[in-house]
Amino acid sequence: TGLKPPVIIYLSSSSPSFQPFPNLSQLSAALGGLSGVPELEVEALRPVNLLQERNLLPPRPLEAPEPNLTPDLKKVNCSPQTFRCTLTSIPQTQALLNKARLPLGLLLHPFRDLQQLPVITSNTIVRCRSCRTYINPFVTFLDQRRWKCNLCYRVNDVPDEFMYNPVTRSYGEPHKRPEVQNSTVEFIASSDYMLRPPQPAVYLFVLDVSHNAVEAGYLKYFCESLLENLDKLPGDTRTRVGFLTFDSTIHFYNLQEGLSQPQMLVVSDIDGTLMVNLKESKELVKDLLTSLPAMFSQSRETHSALGPALQAAFKLMSPTGGRVTVFQTQLPTLGAGKLQSREDPNQRSSTKHLGPATDFYKKLALDCSGQQIGVDLFLLSSQYADLASLACISKYSAGSVFYYPSFHYIHNPAQLEKFQKDLERYLTRKIGFEAVMRIRCTKGLSIHTFHGNFFVRSTDLLSLANVNPDSAFAVQMSIEDSLADSSLACFQAALLYTSNKGKRRIRVHTLCLPVVNQLSDVYAGADVQAITCLLANMAIDRSISSNLSDARDALVNAVVDLVTAYKSNVSNLQQSGLVVPASMRLFPLYILALLKQKALRTGTSTRLDERVFAMCEFKTQPLQQLMRMVHPDLYRMDNMSDQGALHLNDTVVPQPHLLHLSAERLSRDGAFLMDCGNVFYLWIGKCCNEMFIRDVLGCPNYASVPPNMVSETNEHFVANLLKASLFFSLRDDASAKATFFQHLVEDRSESALSYHEFLQHVQLQMSK
Ligand SMILES: *[C@@H]1O[C@H](CO)[C@@H](O)[C@H](O)[C@H]1NC(C)=O
Ligand SMILES: *[C@@H]1O[C@H](CO)[C@@H](O)[C@H](O)[C@H]1NC(C)=O
Ligand SMILES: *[C@@H]1O[C@H](CO)[C@@H](O)[C@H](O)[C@H]1NC(C)=O
Ligand SMILES: *[C@@H]1O[C@H](CO)[C@@H](O)[C@H](O)[C@H]1NC(C)=O
Ligand SMILES: *[C@@H]1O[C@H](CO)[C@@H](O)[C@H](O)[C@H]1NC(C)=O
Ligand SMILES: *[C@@H]1O[C@H](CO)[C@@H](O)[C@H](O)[C@H]1NC(C)=O
Ligand SMILES: [Zn+2]
């Protein structure tokens, strides 16, 4: 359309420097409290001809569809933010599932931060004697003394202790116990759930101090952040910490209480005494963090012995387990695990080398996992560092990966800001140690494949050396035996972990869904976002095990298959065109959006490490976050009227409508907000209402808005508005614009189809 956005502003929550628009606080309350309306079942089945219907978006962000259950079951079911299934009506047989041509799987965010969590302390944790399922709201009580398991149908006795309800302090009401009233609960576990005494919180920081690291300048910010958050590290009086720095050699630090100052050691004979009690050695730790940045500021050492440093870290941590946090700024060049560049600088769009170059990092990660050590990687590198190989250290030890391409403390303030925000969250977020997660499901269903960062211990059991509240998992399922015996299917995820206070705990989530035998019911209950996320995970695996074009074809075929199956088996419509059930009307759009993501796109220049990082994110981000990254929410902000507004008590709250992601929807007289989950953009048109500019940006008019303005918005506004972590870019305005426009996924780009062209492509594929 030739429309040039004059100003793009990244909003940042860092400094409250302007007065928020008076109405924005209302708006933020509205957006924060907005809940989309789940679609009615009748609507979900309405055939939608995609070639004719253009306005497909709901007014508000799409919510998870509600399973078709009785109100009682609905009320107690697990939150979709924790546990979601791609099909909220489970097909009775694999044959029916095959017919639907939709994937069956779970999206799980098991350790997310919760406001409310019933914690149960009791001598007996009631479980099915046959399949070990934890008692849950979906079991049936045959009488006061017997309950029937909802997963394997065995009849179990109710133990005496269970007859007493600690919440109501009454006897004889087993069905009122919190375990059977809440589908998410946490048990304090007894010693039966321990292989050894629970470990304390142990944190080791492994820091790159090579010349390259000094140039990038991250160390000072890391030390500052850790100093600031030292007392907020999750743990208790037993918490231990240690530090290790490396360039071509490895340096250890003796921080034993009683020393007058930290001692640097370059030894080969290391032992556990280098991990010190944080409380006892706090002053020495502070000393070290204060002096570290200066210690290496003159370093000329360009080599990086990351592999040996990780091996040393493994040795230090083996006796206890715990968390290793690695900061790396370049390709490792020395010793075990050294790597060579595989990126051809002349061929940025290459889609080769998506897998690791060596199994060194995977093997070490498996050793770590065996000793309950999780390894998290912060990669801050402007050059290719082979993330495909390095990420294995976190992937198989249940760690997290953070990546800051072209990190530089002066030249790239946006990355620095993001790094600081991420670090603060990282250091202070909840953590669980020596964890395992088991997924059980109703007899007949079985687990096919897991996605995420973990080590698979057995078919239904994941080893998680560490568990954090920001990581999610996906699980592909299949139907082995007919589910005809029951009208309900249940899934239970049980996460057994050691809290940072050294307590064994079990967090249990149970999800209940109806079983159906009609294809139309399967479609009516399809959860298009969950399906998209599961397919995204599958596509990542496929692009590594096969190749990228194969993975992309599979995604397009998923759309072709759905349209074909729906047309021939359900819709009974003779009309031509692309017809899908309303529940799946956004499917082709979401798939197109997936194909345009860094992880899966072709054509456009995508650096190898950036692609690999995007792939890592697909595998570990929770659904809500991933969907906003793939298909952001776009709103017009400047002309919200009271028409159609919510009336909350006496306050009128205007409600902006979601807009399609196309430049056609932007106009010069408007202001538009794009919510991408971890970043959001405010796009301001040239002829935008001056009152809005004045009130929101604190500038008298459009002309006075600096072209590179970074709006550091009011903390409260941002917190309420998007509840996201944000960052802004000051200098690379052009790249900000490019990024903004890349998110307009319905538009054609140099190398990718527009939405309309994509539909035509699907139609063409169908006729083949
Ligand atoms: C909201 O903004 C409008 C102008 O857009 C103004 O007329 C109105 O008084 C504001 N309402 C409140 C409650 O501040
Ligand atoms: C547990 O369930 C009961 C009954 O449904 C409910 O009143 C209570 O708020 C729930 N507890 C929590 C912590 O969610
Ligand atoms: C990708 O993999 C598919 C299936 O294995 C194969 O047929 C195809 O030739 C491969 N394409 C490329 C570009 O390697
Ligand atoms: C259902 O759709 C599939 C896929 O298009 C097709 O192979 C099958 O024959 C159809 N079945 C019926 C009963 O129409
Ligand atoms: C805002 O402007 C757009 C484009 O002119 C228009 O379609 C929309 O109805 C307006 N919204 C309100 C609430 O006036
Ligand atoms: C509406 O008023 C009730 C009672 O005064 C209060 O509890 C509730 O929080 C208010 N709702 C909103 C959205 O302000
Ligand atoms: Zn059972």
How far is residue 373's CA from residue 201's CA, in Å, rounded to a whole number? 11
Bridge-based pairing state of the strands 170-171 and 164-165: antiparallel
The residue whose CA has the least distance to atom 1 of ligand 1 is: 23
Does the beta carbon of 649 sit less than 6 angstroms from any atom of ligand 6?
A: yes
How far is residue 297's CA from residue 410's CA, in Å, rounded to a whole number? 16
How far is residue 61's CA from residue 38's CA, in Å, rounded to a whole number? 10
Bridge-based pairing state of the strands 504-516 and 184-188: antiparallel
Contact 310, 358 (CB under 8 A): no
Mean pLDDT (whole number) for 751-765: 94
> For ligand 1, what atom is nearest to the CA of residue 692?
5
Phi/psi for 113 (5° steps) reads -65, 130
538-553: buried (b, 16+ CB within 10 Å) or exposed (e) per residue?
bbbbbbbeeebeebbb
Q: Which ligand is nearest to the CA of 74?
A: 2
Question: At 44, is the pLDDT very low, low, confident or very high (cuts 50, 70, 90)?
Answer: confident
Q: Which ligand is nearest to the CA of 115?
A: 2
pLDDT at 336 over 90: yes
724-740: buried (b, 16+ CB within 10 Å) or exposed (e) per residue?
bbbbbbeebbeebbebb
The reported pLDDT for the residue numbered 107 is 98
Contact 385, 330 (CB under 8 A): yes
Does the beta carbon of 545 sit less than 6 angstroms from any atom of ligand 3?
A: no
Contact 423, 225 (CB under 8 A): yes
Sign of the CA dihedral running 721, 726, 727, 733: negative
Measured in Å, residue 365 CA sits from the centre of ligand 5 at 54
The residue whose CA has the least distance to atom 8 of ligand 2 is: 182
The DSSP element (H or E) to which 252 belongs, if any, is strand 250-254
Mean pLDDT (whole number) for 236-244: 97
Contact 583, 65 (CB under 8 A): yes
In this predicted structure, which of 135-144, 409-418, 759-768 has the lowest mean pLDDT? 409-418
Between 573 and 395, the more confident residue is: 395
In this predicted structure, which of 207-211, 311-315, 573-577, 674-678 has the lowest mean pLDDT? 573-577
Architecture of domain 119-195+433-520: Sandwich (2.60)
Residue 430's Cβ-count burial label (10 Å; 0-12, 13-18, 19+) is middle
How far is residue 697's CA from residue 691's CA, in Å, rounded to a whole number? 10
The reported pLDDT for the residue numbered 723 is 29
Average pLDDT taken over every residue of the chain: 86
Sign of the CA dihedral running 616, 216, 741, 678: positive
> For ligand 6, what atom is nearest to the CA of residue 649?
1
Q: Which ligand is nearest to the CA of 26?
A: 1
| Tokens standing for residue 393 | 């250290």
In this predicted structure, which of 32-36, 312-316, 458-462, 482-486 has the lowest mean pLDDT? 32-36
> For ligand 3, what atom is nearest to the CA of residue 548?
1
Does the beta carbon of 93 sit less than 6 angstroms from any atom of ligand 1?
A: no
The residue whose CA has the least distance to atom 14 of ligand 4 is: 569
Does the beta carbon of 568 sit less than 6 angstroms from any atom of ligand 4?
A: yes
Q: Which ligand is nearest to the CA of 648?
A: 6
Contact 632, 661 (CB under 8 A): yes
> Which SS3 state, helix, strand or coil, does residue 189 take?
coil
Question: At 11, is the pLDDT very low, low, confident or very high (cuts 50, 70, 90)?
Answer: very low
Measured in Å, residue 94 CA sits from the centre of ligand 4 at 14
Report pLDDT digits (tens) over 460-517. Answer: 999 999 999 999 999 999 999 999 988 999 999 999 999 999 999 999 999 999 999 9
The residue whose CA has the least distance to atom 13 of ligand 3 is: 549
Does the beta carbon of 98 sit less than 6 angstroms from any atom of ligand 4?
A: no
Measured in Å, residue 751 CA sits from the centre of ligand 7 at 53
Residue 445 forms beta bridges with which residues? 479
In this predicted structure, which of 44-48, 75-79, 97-101, 621-625 has the lowest mean pLDDT? 44-48
> Which SS3 state, helix, strand or coil, does residue 423 take?
helix
Closest CA to 287 of 303, 270, 263: 263
Q: What is the DSSP letter of 622?
A: -
Bridge-based pairing state of the strands 47-49 and 401-405: unpaired
> Could you check whether 119-195+433-520 and 632-742 share the same CATH topology?
no
Q: What is the DSSP letter of 349?
A: T
Question: At 748, is the pLDDT very low, low, confident or very high (cuts 50, 70, 90)?
Answer: very high
The full set of domain ranges for the chain reads: 1-37, 119-195+433-520, 209-430, 632-742
How far is residue 510's CA from residue 494's CA, in Å, rounded to a whole number? 9
Q: What is the DSSP letter of 701?
A: S
Which residues have a Cβ under 8 Å from the Cβ of 71 and sit 6 or more positions away?
A: none
The reported pLDDT for the residue numbered 5 is 32
pLDDT at 641 over 70: no
Mean pLDDT (whole number) for 61-72: 91
Q: Which ligand is nearest to the CA of 642?
A: 5
Question: At 389, is the pLDDT very low, low, confident or very high (cuts 50, 70, 90)?
Answer: very high
Superfamily name and number for 632-742: Severin (3.40.20.10)
How crowded is residue 756: how many other Cβ atoms within 10 Å of its Cβ? 14
Contact 531, 102 (CB under 8 A): yes
> Which SS3 state, helix, strand or coil, does residue 573 take?
coil
The residue whose CA has the least distance to atom 10 of ligand 6 is: 649
> For ligand 5, what atom is nearest to the CA of residue 643?
13
86-95, 268-277, 599-608 — which one is most confidently predicted on average? 86-95
Q: Which ligand is nearest to the CA of 687?
A: 5
Residue whose structure tokens are 């990660």 = 365
The residue whose CA has the least distance to atom 5 of ligand 2 is: 181
Pick the CATH number of 209-430 from 3.40.50.410, 3.40.50.720, 3.40.50.1360, 3.40.80.10: 3.40.50.410
Which residues have a Cβ under 8 Å from the Cβ of 324 and sit 6 or more positions away?
A: 204, 205, 206, 310, 313, 317, 368, 373, 374, 375, 376
Mean pLDDT (whole number) for 126-135: 97
Question: At 698, is the pLDDT very low, low, confident or very high (cuts 50, 70, 90)?
Answer: low
Does the beta carbon of 648 sit less than 6 angstroms from any atom of ligand 6?
A: yes
How much is the CA Rg of the chain, to the nearest whole Å? 27
How far is residue 491's CA from residue 514's CA, in Å, rounded to a whole number? 12
pLDDT at 680 over 70: no
Question: At 651, is the pLDDT very low, low, confident or very high (cuts 50, 70, 90)?
Answer: low
The residue whose CA has the least distance to atom 3 of ligand 5 is: 639
Measured in Å, residue 126 CA sits from the centre of ligand 2 at 19
Does the beta carbon of 611 sit less than 6 angstroms from any atom of ligand 5?
A: no
Residue 577's Cβ-count burial label (10 Å; 0-12, 13-18, 19+) is middle
Closest CA to 83 of 437, 558, 563, 518: 437
Closest CA to 184 of 227, 97, 120, 94: 120
Mean pLDDT (whole number) for 591-613: 92
Q: What is the DSSP letter of 527?
A: -
How far is residue 127's CA from residue 132's CA, in Å, rounded to a whole number? 5
Contact 134, 494 (CB under 8 A): yes
The DSSP element (H or E) to which 43 belongs, if any, is helix 41-45
The reported pLDDT for the residue numbered 710 is 41
Closest CA to 469 of 435, 508, 430: 430
> Which SS3 state, helix, strand or coil, does residue 84 take?
strand
Which residues have a Cβ under 8 Å from the Cβ of 176 and sit 6 or more positions away?
A: 165, 167, 168, 170
How far is residue 678's CA from residue 34's CA, in Å, rounded to a whole number? 18
Does the beta carbon of 546 sit less than 6 angstroms from any atom of ligand 3?
A: yes
How far is residue 536's CA from residue 587's CA, in Å, rounded to a whole number? 12
How far is residue 222's CA from residue 380's CA, in Å, rounded to a whole number? 12
The residue whose CA has the least distance to atom 8 of ligand 6 is: 649
Measured in Å, residue 76 CA sits from the centre of ligand 2 at 8
How crowded is residue 271: how many other Cβ atoms within 10 Å of its Cβ? 10
Does the beta carbon of 639 sit less than 6 angstroms from any atom of ligand 5?
A: yes
> Which SS3 state, helix, strand or coil, does residue 251 take?
strand
Report pLDDT digits (tens) over 403-428. Answer: 999 899 998 877 888 898 889 999 99
Ligand 2, pocket residues at CB < 6 Å: 76, 116-118, 178, 181-182
Single-letter amino acid, residue 594? L
Question: At 705, is the pLDDT very low, low, confident or very high (cuts 50, 70, 90)?
Answer: low
How far is residue 539's CA from residue 600's CA, in Å, rounded to a whole number? 8
Q: To 10 degrees, what angle do helices 218-229 and 413-428 make?
A: 30
Measured in Å, residue 37 CA sits from the centre of ligand 6 at 20
Between 210 and 344, the more confident residue is: 210
Does the beta carbon of 549 sit less than 6 angstroms from any atom of ligand 3?
A: yes
Q: Which ligand is nearest to the CA of 155?
A: 7
Task: Please write down the HEC assignment for all residues of 279-318.
Answer: CCCHHHHHHHHHHHHHHCCCCCCCCCCHHHHHHHHHHHHC
Does the beta carbon of 25 sit less than 6 angstroms from any atom of ligand 1?
A: no
Contact 420, 225 (CB under 8 A): yes
Contact 278, 257 (CB under 8 A): no
Residue 755's Cβ-count burial label (10 Å; 0-12, 13-18, 19+) is buried
Q: Distance from CA of residue 67 to its chain's centroid? A: 23
pLDDT at 657 over 50: yes
Measured in Å, residue 83 CA sits from the centre of ligand 6 at 29
> For ligand 6, what atom is nearest to the CA of residue 29?
13
How far is residue 752's CA from residue 754's CA, in Å, rounded to a whole number? 7
The reported pLDDT for the residue numbered 648 is 53
How far is residue 199's CA from residue 210's CA, in Å, rounded to a whole number? 33
Q: What percent of the chain has pLDDT over 90?
A: 64
Question: At 696, is the pLDDT very low, low, confident or very high (cuts 50, 70, 90)?
Answer: low
The reported pLDDT for the residue numbered 331 is 96
Measured in Å, residue 676 CA sits from the centre of ligand 1 at 28
> For ligand 4, what atom is nearest to the CA of residue 569?
14
**Mutation test of ligand 3: which of 354, 548, 549 has the most ligand atoms closer than 8 Å to its C-beta?**
549
How far is residue 369's CA from residue 366's CA, in Å, rounded to a whole number? 5
